[in-house]
Structure 1
Amino acid sequence: MSHARKRQWVNPEDLPEPEPKTDLHPKNVMLWVWWDFEGIIYWELLRPNTTIDSKLHCQQLQNLKLLIQANRSERRKVRLLHDNAKPQTLKFTRQKLKELGWEVLLHPPYSPDLAPSDYHLFRFLRDHLVKKQFDDEAQLK
C-alpha cells in the first residue's frame, strides 16, 4: 500500500481510488560537456543506446578544437583533464590528442579524488536544472 493510499478516507465497503503509477524509469539522455573556467565550450546530447567509442570521442575532440579556435582564439595552449577510461585511452584517441597538440592532465579512472567538474560544473548544472522536467528531447535542447 502506498503512502498516498494510506491518506485516503473511504467507507469500509468502498475501495480506495486507484492511483496511477508514475513512469518508474524515465528516459535518460547522456550529456557530454566540454568546458573551461569561462564556461561551457561544447555540449552534445547523445542518442539513446549510443556506444561511446574512440571514433565518437575523436569526433568530439575535433568539434571542440573548432569551437576553441572560433570562441577562445586567444588560447595558445589547451590542457585537457582526462580520466583513463577506455575511450580516452585507446590508441586512436591518444593519436588524435597528439595531432591536436593538447597537453593531457590524467585523472585516474574511478578515482576517489574528485575532479574539478564535481565541484564546479555539476553544481552549476544541478542548480540550473533543479525542479525542471523535460517531456521530450526537443525541450531538453
Structure 2
Amino acid sequence: MLDQADIKPSVCRTLVFKWHKRFSDGWTSVEDDPGRGRKTIIEENLILRVKNVIESDRRHTVQEISAVVGISTGTVHTILTEHLNMCRVSARWIPRLLSVNDKAKRVRLSRNFLRRHASEGDSFINKIITTDETWLFYFDPETKQQSSAWKRKSSPPPQKAKLRQSSRKNMFIFFMDIQGMLLIHAVPAHQTVNADYYSKVIRRDLLHAVRKKRPGTNLAEMILHQDNAPAHRAETTILELDLLGLERVEHAPYSPDLAPMDFKVFPTVKSQLRGRKFDNIDELKYATRSIVSKLDKKWYRDVYDEWIRRHKLCIKHKGEFFEKM
C-alpha cells in the first residue's frame, strides 16, 4: 500500500528496519547510543616520542613533529594539547634579561618608595619632579593599528604605502610633577646631553620653570627622579644637585616600566605625533607642546597613581618585568 500511495518516505528503508530491531529488543528511543562513533586511541609510546621531540626544541612546529614521528598533524596537535597540556605562545619582549641582583634591587627600591609614601602620604609624591630624555622625529609613520578603519564586509580593505621613519630627529628633555609639565627643553642640534649640559639645563631652565609655574615653591624642597643615564649619575651632576639642595629618589636599573616618562608620557606624545610631518624644529616643538597642553591635572595625577601601582606590581612579581596593570 505504501508503494502505491503518492507519498515520499522521509526515512530510508534501512533505518526503518534498524528501528524495528531496536524496538523488538526493548529500546524505546531512536537516538544513537552515547559514546558511539570512531574513537582514536593514541598509544603511550607515541605520546613519549612527541614529548621527546618537543623537549629537544620547543620551537618545533606541528608539521615538523609530524614528519619526525611519522604521524598525522591532527594526532600531534591532540597529543600536545590534550595529553601534554601544552600550548604555543610567542616570546615576551622585555627591556633586558634581569639578573638576580637586578630583580632584588628593583624590589628593594620599590619597597623604599612605597614605605616612604605610606609614611609621608601625598606630600611625598607631590614633591617629586621626574625627568627623562627622548628622541622626537620630524616624521614618524603611523602604526598599522593606528591606520585601521571600519569597513563593510563587501568592501575591500584599505591600502596604504609603507613609509619610513625620517632620519631627522631632535632630542628633548621633559620635566614634570604631579600638577603638570614643568619644562620641555629642545636640545640644540649636534649638542650631546652630557653631564655639563644636563646640569646647566637643571640650574638654568628647570629652576626658572619652577619659579614661574610653581610660585612660592623652593627647588630645594623638591625631589628629583631620574633614570641611570650617564649624564644623570655623573659626579658633576651629583655635585650640582647637591649645591641646589635637590633631593633624589633612586631609580632601579633597566626599569622603564617604573619611570613615568617611559610608561606613559612619551608613548602618549609620540602616538599623537605619528603621521605628521614637520619641516623644522619650531614646528616640532609647537606640536609637542600643544599635545602636552591638552593634558589636564587629573591626567598627571593618574600617572603618579599608576606609578605607585607599578611599584606594588614589581614587588608582587618579585622584580620581574610585568605587562598588564
Which category of TM-score, normalised to the shorter sequence, fits these structures? 0.7 to 0.9
Q: CA separation in 2, counterparts of 1:112 and 1:139? A: 28
Distance 1:25 1:69 in 2: 37
Paired letter, 1:32: I
- 1:3 aligned partner: none
The answer to whether 1:104 aligns with 2:248 is yes
Distance 1:87 1:116, change over 3 A: same
TM-score, with length taken from structure 1: 0.72
Q: Does 1:71 align with 2:71?
A: no
Which has a greater percent of strand?
Answer: 1
Which residue of 184, 187, 190 maps to 1:43? 184
Measure, in 1, the Cα distance between the counterparts of 2:165 and 2:173.
25
Q: Tell me whether 119-128 or 66-75 shows the greater mean CA deviation.
A: 119-128
CA contact (8 A) 1:28 1:48 kept: no
Letter paired with 2:189 = P
- Aligned partners of 2:247, 2:235: CA distance in 1, in Å? 16
CA distance in 2 between counterparts of 1:47 and 1:53 reads 13
Q: Which has the higher helix share?
A: 2
Aligned 8 A contact 2:195 2:234 in 1: yes
Q: Where do 5+ consecutive residues of structure 2 fail to align?
A: 1-162, 286-325
CA distance in 1, matches of 2:180, 2:164: 34
TM-superposition CA deviations, 1:83-123 (whole Å, max 9, x none): 22211111111111111111101213433643122233124
Cα 1:72–1:91 change in 2 (3 A) is: same
Residue 28 of structure 1 aligns with an amino acid whose one-letter code is K
Greater gyration radius: 2
Aligned runs of 1:97-136 on 2, under 5 Å?
A: 97-111=241-255, 113-136=257-280
- For 2:227, the equivalent position in structure 1 comes to 83
Query: Any unmatched runs of 5+ in structure 1?
Result: 1-21
Q: TM-score, normalised by structure 2?
A: 0.34
RMSD of the alignment, in Å?
2.3
Percent identity for Structure 1 against Structure 2: 26
**What letter matches 2:210 in structure 1?**
I
CA contact (8 A) 2:256 2:263 kept: no
Structure 1 runs (4+) greater than 3 angstroms displaced: 22-25
CA–CA separation in structure 2 for the residues paired with 1:24 and 1:130: 10
Q: Corresponding residue for 1:9?
A: none
**2:252 corresponds to which letter in structure 1?**
P
In structure 2, what residue type is equivalent to 1:103? E
Match of 1:139 in 2: 283
Q: CA deviation at 1:68?
A: 0.5
The SS at the match of 2:201 is helix
Residues 16-72 of structure 1 deviation map (CA, whole Å, 9 limit, x = unaligned): xxxxxx776420111111111222111121123321111101111112012102211
Alignment size in residue pairs = 121
